[in-house]
Amino acid sequence: MKKKELVNIIEYKTKGAIIRSKARWYNEGEKNNKYFLNLENRHCKKKTIMQIKTKDGANLTHDSDILRECNSFYSDLYTTKSTKITEDLEEQFFSYEHPHKLYEIDKEKCEGLLTEKKCLEAVKSMESGKSPGTDGLHAEFYKVFWKDISTFLISSLNRSYQKGNLAITHRRGIISLIPQKDKALSKLKNRRPITFRTTQIDINPWIIIIIIDYNRVVIIRF
């Protein structure tokens, strides 16, 4: 009995290490979790920034200096440099009232509160085997426990719709700077920022896709 429990614990830890290490080629039933743990540690070390080289050539090693430089670098990178392009696009698309509008009955199909049916379709459409969100829950959790949590989840999403903004936990994310392969890790230009959020908020885009798919004939018509 004890041996079986130990085997189950090892298998559980191995599966977790496999997901976190992003090993896509492992065989079912793999027992050697040492390899996957080492792979996970190696990925973690690559993502951990120990030193940053600024544009001026200075080397930053303190956490506060590195965070300040990251904030400055990516704020500048993603700030719009020219307002002329934005103004031209606004003039092109919003300078006149579009003659074609959806009928009220068609608008209601595309808007309004979420239903259990559409939310369930969205959850089923989410890909399994991915890393969990910032709350530690992945898509499989929502699929398995849907009957138990659907009422609370749908109520939360609809509450956000009624208030006009998302819950604070849905607006927060953890930014990770992923290093590019065979590039100098000390330069921020060689790192790609991605944001990890709760899996709950990832359900929303799937719902929008499903709603558009349902009503694509009506939308295209206009």
Proportion of the chain above pLDDT 90, given as a percent: 3
How does pLDDT run across 89-134, given as a tens digit for each residue? 766 666 666 666 767 777 777 777 888 888 888 888 888 877 777 7
Shared domain check, 195 and 128: yes
Shared domain check, 199 and 131: yes
- Classified as helix, coil or strand, 131 is coil
Angle at 113 between CA 112 and CA 117, to 5 degrees: 115
Which of 72-81, 185-194, 208-217 comes out lowest in average pLDDT?
208-217
The boundaries of the domain holding residue 141 are: 102-222
What distance in Å separates the CA atoms of residue 124 and residue 122, rounded to the nearest whole number? 5
Pairing status of strand 52-53 against strand 191-196: unpaired
Shared domain check, 117 and 214: yes
Shared domain check, 56 and 38: no
Shared domain check, 213 and 161: yes
How does pLDDT run across 171-203, given as a tens digit for each residue? 888 888 888 888 888 888 888 888 888 887 778
Shared domain check, 150 and 125: yes
Shared domain check, 107 and 76: no
Instruction: Name the H helices within 22-82.
Output: 33-47, 63-77
Residue 148's pLDDT is: 92
Residue 121's pLDDT is: 86
Average of pLDDT values for 156-178? 84
What distance in Å separates the CA atoms of residue 141 and residue 147, rounded to the nearest whole number? 11
Residue 145's pLDDT is: 92
